[in-house]
Chains A and B, each alone.
Chain A
Amino acid sequence: MKFPFAELVHLDNLWFQVTGTLCNLSCTHCFNRSGPQARSFGFLTLAQVQEELETAVRAGVKEIFFTGGEPFLHPQLPEMLELSLAVAPTTVLTNGMLISNRLADRMAEMERKARYSLEIRVSLDGWTEASNDALRGRGVFKQVLAAIERLCQRGLLPLVTVVRTWDEGEDQAALEGFGSVLKAAGYARPRIKLLPALPLGRELERSPQAGAESSLLSEEMLEGFDRDLLMCSNSRLVTDRGVWVCPLLVEIPAARLGARLQDAAPTYELKHPACMSCYHYGTICGNVSALIEGPAELKRP
């Protein structure tokens, strides 16, 4: 089968997998199998981050993202965020477990001083303790809500990131459920980002039908499709093992494009089932909510 290629049109978004796959949680739906023993990717150094930031700024980068694993396991993450915020808007994706009062103070201070936005994306996958902790681990619900409260008390508005583990028809009820639990935790105007579950990593074991139902992209499907919605046309991921086409495909060796940003290959063959998530929902890894209703069909009213 012949698959379509995507070209990097412009490096809008640079991602750092700053702690590799090391995480203090091991969620049952984790797309890159992060966990306390997951060592398939390691830590980036401050010098590596600085060097790739400089390359990206020369290329006209728009936004920077820090992910993992759990980024706050890196002792130098705050310094990295400061470096990044000095040149571009910056987002960190966290499970929230390590956000102490001291760290929340530092993030609030950093945000106040920066002229760009600092987005803190905190994961929460159920609006009840039972449903969240079944996916993310015992005790996580309470700790994460406490972390969200700490951020809110300091004027930060975290983007609560939720993976859909229910039927699409229940989205509205779910959003209302999350909204009320966040308000009760002191988040007066909760920002919620809903994501589809991805047919990758541990999610394939938790939900085997996700893999079985997945399909692949073809050249015909991309005819007339807005390729700006494909993350690989505007993003790259830096890891300690090289540059990957996107954060989702880190387990795919063919998705490694080179050692460093400046010599990474500019094109990628879209031959993985996970490529369908950008096709269906738009660039889901970005900060605005995914197109959870699917792409709008344009018809005459």
Chain B
Amino acid sequence: MTRLALLGGIYSNYRALETALRQIEQRGADGIYCLGDLGAFGPYPDRVYPLLRSRGVECIQGNYDNSLAGGLADCQCGYTDPRDNYFARLSYAYTFENTSVENKAWLASLPMTRRLEVEGWRILLCHGSPRKLNEFLWESTSSDAFLEYLLRLADADIVAVTHTGIKWHRRLSAGRQFINVGVLGRPENNGLTHVVYAELSLERDAAKVEFVPVEYDFRALAADMAEEKLPPEFIETILTGWWTTCLEILPHKERAHGRF
């Protein structure tokens, strides 16, 4: 059996990343992958890079990484609401300013996708969707028919994505699977403070997905964020598990599950 740890957006949450990497070491893994968006939202963006490099985490670019690497003025998050964009810009300006030139160059060196072939399974890792860096694939707005199309387009048996911030997993025809691995960066709008990553266990005739909760020191992260004068709205999300910003992009079901 081969076991892969799939990490979603880290959003500068180095404390959650540290805890997740310790858990992965205890559980054992044959490979650790991160699907992009290393910076954003959280404090001290440069702190995630040494952790990722020292543990050999294989990363791909997310929209945030692509923007930081290319010196773009916008995070390409894909928001359209003025309030959402206000917070996105604030967060991007902070992250841009506090990410070193070396780390930006390292981001630029990362591939946009990764293809793996494990135990006979053809796997595509990407950030938003196989066809677009910043496409939002929410559970409640991704029809089976559409996911089957994306799997055909990707020429893969398993596709793993992140970008939305909320995990899900769908089994499709002929044993194929689609996974949104969730994110390590912030809790997933359910009133709980932990974050998650996905563990993919592969055998020749079976592929199993488990979402692993990561209980980290979220109060210390909130203190870091306050120290860096990040918006109180962001800190509230870390402390309560409810999203307070970037809400207008949510489809009905995901929005109705949250508090705001």
A residues in contact (CB < 8 Å) with B: 10, 12, 56-63, 87-89, 111, 115-119, 155-157, 159, 171-172, 175, 189, 191, 228, 282, 287-293, 296-301
Provide the B80-93 mask, 1 if CB < 8 A to any CB of A, else 0: 11100100000001
Provide the B89-114 mask, 1 if CB < 8 A to any CB of A, else 0: 00001001000000000000000000
> In the assembled complex, which residues on chain B have CB atoms less than 8 Å from the CB atom of A88?
143, 145-146
The stretch from B57-65, B67-75, B173-181 touching chain A is B67-75
Q: Nearest Cβ distance between residue A60 and chain B, in whole angstroms?
A: 3
- B148 touches A (CB below 8 Å): yes
Q: Give me the interface of B with A, judged by CB distance under 8 Å.
A: 71-74, 80-82, 85, 93, 96, 132, 138, 140-146, 148-150, 152, 248-249, 251-256, 260
Closest A residue to B75 by beta carbon equals A296
**Extra pairs beyond A89-B142, A300-B72 (6, CB < 8 Å):** A12-B146, A62-B146, A111-B252, A156-B256, A291-B80, A300-B73
The main secondary structure of chain B at its interface with chain A is helix
A117: B residues at CB distance < 8 A: 138, 140-141, 251-254
Pairwise interchain contact B248-A288, C-beta atoms closer than 8 A = yes
What are 20 pairs between A and B in contact, CB < 8 Å? Answer: A60-B145, A60-B149, A60-B152, A62-B145, A87-B143, A88-B145, A89-B142, A111-B253, A116-B143, A117-B141, A117-B252, A157-B252, A191-B255, A291-B80, A292-B82, A293-B82, A293-B85, A299-B72, A300-B71, A300-B73
B251 A119 Cβ-Cβ under 8 A:
yes
Asked if B146 and A60 make an inter-chain contact with CB atoms under 8 angstroms apart, the answer reads yes
CB distance from B27 to the nearest CB of A (A): 30
Residue of A nearest to B81 (CB): A289
Instruction: Name the residue of chain A whose CB is nearest to the CB of B259.
Output: A189
Q: Is the CB of A287 within 8 A of B251?
A: yes
Chain A binding surface SS class = loop
Q: How far is the CA of A286 from the CA of B144 in the complex (A)?
A: 20
For the complex of A and B, list the 10 residue pairs with the smallest distance between their C-beta atoms, beginning with the closest: A60-B149, A88-B143, A62-B146, A117-B140, A117-B252, A117-B251, A89-B141, A299-B73, A57-B145, A289-B80
Question: Do B80 and A115 have beta carbons less than 8 Å apart?
Answer: no
A300 CA / B72 CA spacing, docked (Å): 5
Known: A60-B149, A89-B143. A155 touches B72 (CB 8 A): no
For A59, the chain B residues whose CB sits under 8 A away are 145, 149
Q: Closest Cβ of chain B: how far from A180's Cβ, in Å?
A: 15
